[in-house]
Amino acid sequence: MSLTVVGSIAFDAVKSPFGEREKMLGGAAVHFSLAASFFTDVRPVGPVGDDFGADEFAILERRGVQTGDIERVSGGQSFFWRGRYEYDLNVAHTEDTQLGVFGDFEPKLSDEAKAADTLFLANIQPDLQRQVSAQCDAAGFSALDSMNLWIDTAKDSLLAAIAEVDCLVLNDAEIRQLTGESNLARAARAVMGHGPRAVVAKQGEYGAALFTEDEKFFALPGFPLEDVRDPTGAGDSFAGGFLGYLDSHDGELDEACLRRAMGYGTVLASFNVEEFGTERVARLTREEVDERFEALHEMTQFEPLPVR
């Protein structure tokens, strides 16, 4: 099985109360790909500049990520994001965003990228998401992330993009904003009215909730951590674990399978935030993933014995 992701491949500058980095590998497609690499062949699609060198490719390639669709634009600069987190890490401030080569990005996928069984459209301009989606018509399952910027400035395009995917993966506040519905359960149903058969509401440290057909609901808490250093990329790592597991699954993507995928998403997101950027996931092992998945399972199960 194989998984294509389109999204930012970037450099990040991040400051949190627990340290800072001036220039490190980042971007949604990077965090997603590293997380998904524990489950399947993953291929990020997107442009980088001359500044993206052997060290950055090496981080991806050591995890077996297929880098053939990372387009190096001569004379260009890679996407750059600078952000700062408060002592309450839930509060983030974007201090700078430079689109660089992403400003003129026209997705041209290789045959291998087009042939993917599973597709993830990370947060980019929704018309670009649709261009990629149109090229990946073999994908049996596709999902999309977005952000408040596109809800504000390109809502019609975003709704058209959402109508074409099987699953929306979005922060819960943005699901509310997108639908104008303050109740999350109602907002998720409204999204499903546009097309998707599943909605994943990302809830930061509170975890994530899954809404599926027939009013099915599932939720997992965030994995409890005493040391969180940099939340950047947590949502994309979640999506990478979630879709990576789904792509590796041979057979119908039923409710049981989607729930396990939520578990792997939760686990990958939790490793991602333990250190800066890709530092923790880059040296993560499959054994550690499975161990934490078991721990998450133990932390969320209970036996419904009757009351005496």
Residues in contact with a second copy by CB under 8 A are 39, 87-89, 182-186, 189, 203, 205-207, 209, 217-221, 224-228, 245, 248-250, 256, 259-260, 262-264, 293-294, 297, 299-305, 307-308
Q: In the complex with a second copy, which residue's Cβ is closer, 75 or 304? A: 304
Q: In the complex with a second copy, which residue's Cβ is closer, 67 or 203? A: 203
Alpha carbons 214 and 155: distance in angstroms, whole number: 27
Q: In the complex with a second copy, which residue's Cβ is closer, 56 or 174? A: 174
Q: In the complex with a second copy, which residue's Cβ is closer, 104 or 254? A: 254
Burial of 92 (0-12, 13-18, 19+ CB in 10 A): middle
**CB 18 to a second copy: min, Å:** 10
Q: In the complex with a second copy, which residue's Cβ is closer, 6 or 201? A: 201
Q: In the complex with a second copy, which residue's Cβ is closer, 163 or 225? A: 225
**CB 215 to a second copy: min, Å:** 9
**CB 117 to a second copy: min, Å:** 14
Q: How far is CA 280 from CA 233, 235, 272, 284, 288, in A?
A: 12, 15, 6, 6, 11
How many C-beta neighbours within 10 Å does residue 254 have?
10
**CB 257 to a second copy: min, Å:** 9
Sheet holding 141-144, edge to edge: 70-72, 41-48, 2-6, 118-121, 141-144, 167-171, 198-202, 208-212, 216-220
Assign 104 to helix, strand or coil.
helix
**CB 74 to a second copy: min, Å:** 40
Q: In the complex with a second copy, which residue's Cβ is closer, 257 or 282? A: 257
**CB 253 to a second copy: min, Å:** 13
**CB 95 to a second copy: min, Å:** 21
Query: How many Cα neighbours within 13 Å face the side chain of 279?
Result: 16
Distance between alpha carbon 200 and the CA centroid of its chain, in Å?
11
Alpha helices in the chain (DSSP H): 28-36, 54-62, 111-114, 126-135, 148-153, 155-163, 172-179, 184-193, 234-248, 255-272, 279-282, 286-300
